[in-house]
Amino acid sequence: MSRAITRQVALLLALLLALFTLGCTDTPDADLRITVIDVGQGDATLLSQAGRHMLIDTGSAYAADALLRELEANGVKKLDLLVLTHPHEDHVGNARRLLMELEVETLVVPTDIAVDFGYDLVLATARERCDDLRVVCAGDEIVLGDARCTVLYAQVNAEDWNDASIVLRVEYGETALLFMGDAGAKIEAELLRKMPQLLDCDFLRVGHHGSEDATTGAFLSAATPTLAAVGCGEQNTYGFPHAAVLENLDVMGVRVWRTDLDGTVVFISDGENIRFHSKSKGA
Q: Which of 57, 70, 80, 90 binds Zn ion (CB under 5 A)?
A: 90
Nearer of residues 80 and 182 to Zn ion, judged by Cβ = 182
Contact 208, 216 (CB under 8 A): no
> Where in 244-283 is the site for Zn ion (CB under 5 A)?
none
Nearest-approach distance from CB 89 to Zn ion, in angstroms = 9
Tell me if 213 contacts Zn ion by CB under 5 A.
no
Contact 70, 263 (CB under 8 A): no
Number of residues that bind Zn ion (CB under 5 A): 2
Task: Indicate the pairing of strand 45-49 with strand 52-56.
Answer: antiparallel
Q: Identify the CA nearest to 152 among candidates 196, 205, 107.
A: 196
Nearest-approach distance from CB 259 to Zn ion, in angstroms = 12
Non-local CB neighbours of 233 within 8 Å, separated by 6+ positions: 40, 41, 42, 240, 259, 260
170: alpha, beta or left, given left = phi > 0 and alpha = psi -120 to 50?
beta
Nearer of residues 175 and 215 to Zn ion, judged by Cβ = 215
Nearest-approach distance from CB 164 to Zn ion, in angstroms = 12
Nearer of residues 182 and 260 to Zn ion, judged by Cβ = 182
From 24-32, 88-96, 218-226, 271-279, span contacting Zn ion (CB under 5 A)? 88-96
**DSSP assignment letter at 239:** -
Nearer of residues 70 and 182 to Zn ion, judged by Cβ = 182
> Where in 130-189 is the site for Zn ion (CB under 5 A)?
182
Nearest-approach distance from CB 278 to Zn ion, in angstroms = 25
Nearest-approach distance from CB 128 to Zn ion, in angstroms = 27
Encoded one letter per residue, x for contact with Zn ion by CB under 5 A and - for no contact, window 33-72 reads ----------------------------------------
Position 77, amino acid: K
Torsion angle, CA of 14/16/21/24, rounded to 10 degrees? -170
- The sign of the torsion formed by the CA atoms of 161, 163, 164, 165 equals positive
Q: Exposure of 12 by Cβ count < 10 A (0-12 exposed, 13-18 middle, 19+ buried)? A: exposed
Nearer of residues 182 and 188 to Zn ion, judged by Cβ = 182
Nearer of residues 38 and 90 to Zn ion, judged by Cβ = 90
Nearest-approach distance from CB 238 to Zn ion, in angstroms = 9
Spatial separation of the C-alpha atoms in residues 172 and 144, rounded to whole Å:
10
**DSSP assignment letter at 217:** H
Nearer of residues 49 and 259 to Zn ion, judged by Cβ = 259
Nearest-approach distance from CB 175 to Zn ion, in angstroms = 25
- For binding to Zn ion (CB under 5 A), which residues are involved? 90, 182
